[in-house]
Amino acid sequence: MKIKAYELKSLVEKNKYAAYLIYGQNKGLVREKSQVIIDAYKNDQTEIIKFENDELISEPEKLANEFNTFSLTAEKKILHILNTKDNLTETITNTVTDLDSKNLIVFETSELTPRSKLRKFFEKEKHLGVLACYFDTERDVQELIESTFKKENISISRDIVLLITKYLGNERHIIKSELEKIILYLKDKKEFKAEDILKCLSQNEDYGFDDLNYSISDGNVVKLDKVINQLYLEGINPVALLRSVSKHFQKILFINQKLDSGMNLSESLTQLKPPIFFLYINQFKEQVKKWKTTLCYKVIERILETEEICKMNSKIAKIICWRTLRNIASIKYS
C-alpha cells in the first residue's frame, strides 16, 4: 500500500506492515526514511541484519530463513535489504507470508518506474508499505534549513535561508552534509552575513543555471567554461542551457524596454516576476547597462537559431551550444 512520509513512524509503531519498500531518486531521503523505520521499530532486544540484493538472488532461501525464524540473541529482527531490484520480487512474495511475525523487513532502492514488478507488488498488497522519495522541493529545503539552524539555536534571516537554498540543490544527503559544514563554520560567530555563508559555500563550486547566466552576461569566459562543463557532466541537455540563457536576456531586455519607455530602474525591477535574487541584484543592474535593447534582441535571436541547429545535430549539439555561449560572452558592449 502507498503511504505518506508523515504516516511512516506511526505505522511502524503500530506494526501495520510486515515489510516496507523505500525507493526514489533522492538517495539521501531514501536512507533517512529507512532509518526512521529502523529507529521506530528497534529496541535493546533487536538484531539488525543487512543484505545486498545480489546476495539474496544467489541464495534465495536466506531471506525466508531469516524472516521466518527467531533470533538466537534477541527478541526480534530487522532485515535491511539494500539495492533491491525487480529480480527479487518472487523471493519476497514467497517470504513475507507470516503476518504475525515479530520480524520486519526494510527494502531500500533507487528509482523504480510505474511498470516495476517490485513497486506494483508493494502497492497492491495490504500487508506491505511502500514510500516514494522524490527530490526535495524548494520549500522542503527551506524548511530543512530553518529546522537545522533552530536546533542549533542559531537565528537566521529569510534572505540567508534563500541564499543557502539556492546553493544546496535538492538531494537530501548532500543538503544535510553541507548544512553540517555551514553550522560548524558559523558555530563560534555571534553575528554573520551573507558573505560569511558564501565563503563556506564557495568551497563547493557547485554551479547551476544562475552561474551560467551571469558568467555569460558578465563576459567571464573562464568561469563559463567551468560551469558548462559541470552542467554537461550532470547530464543537462544543451537546449536547456540555451533556454536558460535566453530567459535571462529576456529579463534584461524587459528592463531595458521599461527604461526606454521612461520608467526608472528601481521601478522597472519591481515589474519582474519572479524578482531577481537579492544576491544578484547589483550584478543584474550592471548587465542592464551593458546589454542594451538592440544587442539583447540579437543575442536572443542567435540563441534561437542555435537551438534549432542543436535539435537537428544532436551528436554535436554540445559543441555547437558551447561555441555559441562563448561567443556571446565574448561580445564587446561598446
Domain shared by 124 and 149, yes or no: no
Domain of 262, CATH number, reads 1.20.272.10
**Which of 93-102, 192-201, 227-236 has the lowest average pLDDT?**
192-201
334 in a structural domain:
no
Q: Look at residue 79 in the predicted model and tell me its pLDDT.
A: 95
pLDDT surpassing 60 at residue 205: no
Q: What is the pLDDT of residues 96-124, one digit of tens each?
A: 887 778 899 999 999 899 999 999 999 99
For residues 220 and 325, membership in a common domain is answered with: yes
| Tens digit of each residue's pLDDT (9 = 90 or more) over 57-97 | 999 899 999 998 888 888 999 999 999 999 999 999 999 88
pLDDT for the residue 308: 94
Which domain-ending residue is among 132, 159, 180?
132
Same domain flag for 191 and 214? no
In this predicted model, what pLDDT tens digit does every residue of 292-324 receive, in sequence order? 999 999 999 999 999 999 999 888 999 999 999
Residue 333 confidence (pLDDT): 55
79: phi then psi, degrees, rounded to nearest 5: -100, 120
Task: Indicate whether 109 belongs to any domain.
Answer: yes
* 21 assigned to some structural domain: yes
**Burial class (CB within 10 angstroms; exposed 0-12, middle 13-18, buried 19+) of 198:** middle
Print the domain residue range for 34. 5-132
Question: In whole angstroms, what is the distance from residue 3 CA to residue 155 CA?
Answer: 34
**Are residues 251 and 277 in contact, defined by beta-carbon separation less than 8 angstroms?**
no
Closest to 117 in 3D by CA, of 90, 94, 139: 90
- 267 or 156: which carries more pLDDT confidence? 267
Report percent pLDDT > 90 for the chain. 57
Is 181 in the same domain as 82? Answer: no
Same domain, 227 and 306: yes
Q: How confident is the model at residue 332 (pLDDT cuts 50, 70, 90)?
A: low
| Residue 58: CATH number of its domain | 3.40.50.300
> The CATH number of the domain where 195 resides is what?
1.10.8
286 and 226 within one domain: yes
> Considering the chain, what is the average pLDDT of its residues?
88
Q: Is residue 126 part of a domain?
A: yes
Residue 334: pLDDT band with limits 50, 70, 90: very low
pLDDT of residue 139: 84
Question: Based on the structure, what is the number of domains in the chain?
Answer: 3
Does a cis peptide bond (omega within 30 degrees of 0) precede residue 274?
yes
Average pLDDT over every residue of 166-193:
76
Dihedral (Cα; 52, 94, 32, 207), 10-degree rounding: 60
Within this chain, do residues 184 and 86 fall inside the same structural domain, yes or no? no
In Å, how far from its chain's centre is CA 300?
Answer: 29
Read off the pLDDT band of 141 (50, 70, 90).
confident
Distances (CA, A) of 98 to 19, 88, 94, 95: 11, 18, 10, 8
Instruction: Report yes or no on 196 lying in a domain.
Output: yes
| Residue 155 banded pLDDT, cuts 50, 70, 90 | confident
**Per-residue confidence at 157, pLDDT binned at 50, 70, 90?**
confident
Residue 193 reports pLDDT greater than 50 = yes
Same domain for 24 and 58: yes
Boundary residue ending a domain (132, 147, 174):
132
Residue with cell 542594451: 292
